[in-house]
Amino acid sequence: MEKVQCVRGTYDLYGAAKRKMKKVVSVGSSVVEKYGFEEIETPIFEFTEVFARNLGDTSDIVTKEMYCFEDKGGESLTLRPEGTAGVVRAFVSNGMQQNLPVKFYYHGPMFRYERPQKGRQRQFTQFGVELLGVETPQADIEVIAMAYEFLEKLGLSGQVTVEINSLGDAESRDAYREKLVAYLKEHYAELSEDSKNRLDKNPLRVLDSKEECDKAVVENAPLYADSLNEASKKFFADVLRGLDLLGIKYRVNNRLVRGLDYYSHTVFELTTDKLGAQGTVLAGGRYNGLVGQMGGGDVAGIGWACGVERLGMLLEEDVSLPRPVAVIPVGDDTYEAALKIAHDLRLAGFAVEQSYSGNMKKRMIKANKANALKAVIIGSDELADGTATIKDLDSGEQKTVALANLIKELQE
């Protein structure tokens, strides 16, 4: 092995960063389970087509960011860059259309070949939800409410803004595309090479460009809102009314489009100003055409995904672990008794730290380092009497208790 280090853009996750990510996932899971979402785990790699065909062949992900490889059988496979395509693929492969709605959540690693920066890795973790089979705005309202409650339970709702927009139905989208293309053609010379290309293939993507020259053009582009037909306007108004009813604050952002092809109607992002350029922590939208595109029929869908690392970075306080009890043998002849006592305490449900070596003083230092709540000190004389000493490591108070009562005493 040449270098003992991980690949650029990947990280070893441990300690406080991992504890925070774990908290993000556990809070997310418990919130979405209340809404009836069940966990699904799909493979980390799929046939390349699952992503290439469905995310849009001019999207950043498909053109630049996918980790594709040929396996030994000659199949073109891709490490998943996002979760929705895989979940929808699973929905179609397993014929889940029979029992709608279907509500799934997932979490796990995603892979994108991007320029690594703070909050932008090549392997990162997403937590996401997908709700399939509900065409009405109720679904949009519910998944946004769920996202909001999730961030609230993480203590982040005050730092986060909900931005929302509507891309309307297919008719509205076509009408908008026409206006947009006419406008972009007037500004053709000012566009980046990428956007000149997009103009033919997928002009909407220009709105999502991160190039400064494109942004300047986009600034004055026609507004989506002006192209929505009546049905789409009503749909969007209903979504916003629902959010008002639930007291969820949002900002309508007419420039929000989202970078993937499959979106229609509602798109939204939850953003923060605390992470610099990587301010989007959660993003999603409605994807009514996606199931059909994969051959699964006319089934509506909506979902969101969040970056678990980005959310973890926003948690200021370390996530505390349950404080253990430290079991401390004094002298070699008490070692076996201590081993057995530690085991019994664990079976009784306590978190137990065994200090593996050292004299009593060293072991006490280790117990404090482990943030132990109490120490159970096993001395040989006491052991002969069938007792042990419990020391409260916060107050320093000590008492001698019968070993038979140890569990009861510690429970208090």
**Residue placing its CB nearer to ligand ATP in the complex, 9 or 351:** 9
- Distance in Å, CB of 265 to ligand ATP, minimum: 17
- Could you give phi then psi for residue 313, rounded to 5 degrees? -65, -25
* C-beta separation of 306 from 105 below 8 A: no
Q: Distance between CA 59 and CA 197 in Å, rounded?
A: 12
Structure tokens at 294: 């994969």
What letter represents residue 223's amino acid?
L
* Cβ 257 vs Cβ 238: under 8 Å: no
Please, which residue, 126 or 232, has the CB nearer to ligand ATP?
126
Strands 251-252 vs 161-166: parallel, antiparallel or unpaired = parallel
Q: Which residue lies nearest ligand ATP, judged by its C-beta?
A: 307
DSSP letter for 383, please.
H
**Given the complex with ligand ATP, which of 139 and 313 has the nearer CB atom?**
313
CA 89 to chain centroid, in Å, comes to 20
Q: Which is nearer to ligand ATP, 277 or 348 (CB)?
A: 277
DSSP string, 75-139: -EEEE-S-SHHHHHHHHHHTTGGGS--EEEEEEEEEE-----BTTB-SEEEEEEEEEES--SHHH
Task: Report in angstroms how near the CB of residue 281 gets to ligand ATP at its nearest.
Answer: 5
- In the complex with ligand ATP, the residue whose CB is nearer, 121 or 354, is 121
221 DSSP assignment:
S
Sheet with 398-402: strands ordered across: 352-354, 325-329, 374-378, 387-392, 398-402
Give me the torsion for CA of 106, 32, 349, 364, rounded to 10°.
Answer: 80
CB of 278 to ligand ATP, least distance (A): 6
Residues 6+ apart with CB under 8 A from 50: 78, 85, 86, 89, 294
Q: How far is the CB of 237 from ligand ATP (least distance, A)?
A: 25
Rounded to a whole number of angstroms, the minimum distance from the CB of residue 259 to ligand ATP is 5
Least Å from the CB of residue 182 to ligand ATP:
27
- In angstroms, give the least distance from the CB of 63 to ligand ATP: 13
- Our CB check for ligand ATP shows the closer of 56 and 259 to be 259
What Å distances lie between residue 285 and 200, 304, 344, CA to CA?
24, 6, 51
Tokens 């809102």 found at: 225
Least CB distance to ligand ATP at residue 82 (A): 5
| Cβ nearer to ligand ATP, comparing 257 with 300 | 257
59 versus 227: smaller Cβ distance to ligand ATP:
59
Residues in touch with ligand ATP (CB under 6 A): 82, 112, 114, 119-121, 124, 126, 259, 278, 280-283, 305-307, 309-310
Distance separating alpha carbons of residues 353 and 313, to the nearest angstrom: 29
User: Tokens standing for 231?
Assistant: 């049905």
Q: Which is nearer to ligand ATP, 203 or 259 (CB)?
A: 259
Shortest reach from residue 292's CB to ligand ATP, in Å: 21
- Per DSSP, 225 falls in state G
Minimum CB separation of residue 9 from ligand ATP in Å reads: 8
**Pick 265 or 363: Cβ nearer ligand ATP:** 265
